[in-house]
Amino acid sequence: MIRTDLAVEAREMHGEGISGVVSRTEKRGGAEVTTVEITSPDGAERLGKPMGVYVTVEIEDAESPDGRKAAAESLASELRLMMEGKDASRVLVVGLGNDHITPDSVGVAAAERVFVTRHLRELMPEEFGSAREVSSIAPGVLGLTGIETGETVRGVAEKIKPTLIIAVDALASRSMSRIGSTLQLTDTGISPGSGVGNSRRELSEKTMGVPVIAVGVPMVADAATVADDAISMLIGKMKEEAENSSDEVLKMLNGMEENDRYALIYEALEPKSANMFVTPKDVDAIADRVSEILRNGLNSALHGNKYEIFY
């Protein structure tokens, strides 16, 4: 019911002390890193996300080249941690999303510029024979292809036999302030669109047969969320004015579970809200910066300093 792709936001909305959800925040390599672990089916249901580990890295400063470099290095370092213990000898990077829509283009833009070596290992064995085997694909979106992302990726994976899949995608956050400023990594894979439980859609170890790490950055917020925030703020303002504790509507609005209120708004906006998104006006600049962080982080995690990365 909660419209956020970020585990850290889902957890915040439920407050502390949910059983089956463990969270900690620490400084790692200069960045603030929050790890949310969903350890029980109950926690998974409460947060609306599969059991697993969700790591959130704050991007301190995406506007300067040095800030982006630091963010890319944090991404690389967290990615390497998440790859530990997994066979990462053959990696398929999947760029999700629609590259004709500015905020949705970052996954494709990053995946297209990952330095791929799979073909080079054969073509130039002396130079690349010992390189990690990396390939990439941008499967496109259902509306333009008629094919579920999971079907395309599984079909390709059965041919090229990766040992690990890394899916890169634009996410939706609850908060506008997280757009372009947070990286999420998870070992649970990804379910493009709203396709929970749709196995043709899901990219996960269960559907792919190999581990799937998902990397994403919020680029849009949900319209109903923005409306809900507006209402919260509006109520706050009105309460100050109308100090009437017996007021019924106010009590109703306040007394509601946050999720219930969101559900009501979501229903009110339906069917429009399902078909719209909210994004910042400078989304073109944000998308450029985010793609750069993603591709450099991926290249660093996958190849280190072993090769001069082509671009």
Residue ranges in 164-203 that form contacts with a second copy under rule CB under 8 A = 176-177
CA dist., res. 115 & res. 124, Å (int): 15
Q: Which of 56, 77, 152, 182 binds a second copy (CB under 8 A)?
A: 152
CA dist., res. 294 & res. 113, Å (int): 10
Instruction: Name the minimum Å distance from CB 8 to a second copy.
Output: 20
Q: Which of 81, 112, 163, 259 binds a second copy (CB under 8 A)?
A: 112
User: Which segment (52-60, 117-125, 163-171, 184-192) binds a second copy by CB under 8 A?
Assistant: 117-125
Q: What is the dihedral of CA 199, 202, 203, 208, to 10 degrees?
A: 0
- The DSSP element (H or E) to which 221 belongs, if any, is strand 212-222
Instruction: Name the minimum Å distance from CB 79 to a second copy.
Output: 19
- For a second copy, the closer CB: 29 or 251: 251
CA dist., res. 286 & res. 217, Å (int): 11
String marking each residue 254-273 x if it binds a second copy according to CB under 8 A:
----------xx-xxx--x-
Assess contact for 217 and 106: CB atoms under 8 A: yes
* Phi, psi (degrees; rounded to nearest 5) at 272: -65, -40
CA dist., res. 278 & res. 103, Å (int): 10
Site residues (CB under 8 A) for a second copy, limited to 9-48: none
- For position 285 contacting a second copy by CB under 8 A, the verdict is yes
Site residues (CB under 8 A) for a second copy, limited to 231-250: 231, 233-238, 241-242, 244, 247-250
- For position 125 contacting a second copy by CB under 8 A, the verdict is no
SS3 at position 77: helix
Instruction: Name the minimum Å distance from CB 286 to a second copy.
Output: 9
Q: Which of 13, 44, 147, 263 binds a second copy (CB under 8 A)?
A: 147
Please give the radius of gyration of the chain, using alpha carbons only, rounded to the nearest integer: 21
